[in-house]
Amino acid sequence: MTVDAGKLSCAEFQAQLPELVGSGENVSAHPHLQNCDLCRALLADLETIAEAARQLFPSVEPSDEVWQHIESAIKKRRGKK
């Protein structure tokens, strides 16, 4: 039996959200959202968070000492062989 997606409760819709969002579907076109301000706001917030996270892409790097220690440890290990 097919459930009318527009008649889902908020709880039912939100239970489906991880899969809907994760599948890359256009969730904003979901029938439930046409009449539900709460879930529409929730989705907008989650999209805003995901977008903000993309701006956090690694910009820091370890100090040069890290590589020096790695090289030194590799040399020691080779010396033992």
Contacting residues toward other proteins, per CB under 8 A: 10-11, 14, 17-19, 21-22, 38-39, 41-42, 44-46, 48-50, 52-71, 73-75
Cα of first residue to Cα of last residue in the chain, in angstroms, is 68
Complex with other proteins: residue 4 or 65, whichever CB lies closer: 65
The least CB distance from residue 46 to other proteins, in Å, is 5
Complex with other proteins: residue 1 or 21, whichever CB lies closer: 21
Cβ atoms within 10 Å, residue 16: 14
The least CB distance from residue 19 to other proteins, in Å, is 6
Complex with other proteins: residue 2 or 57, whichever CB lies closer: 57
DSSP string, 30-70: -HHHHT-HHHHHHHHHHHHHHHHHHTT-------HHHHHHH
Q: How far is CA 77 from the centre of its chain?
A: 40
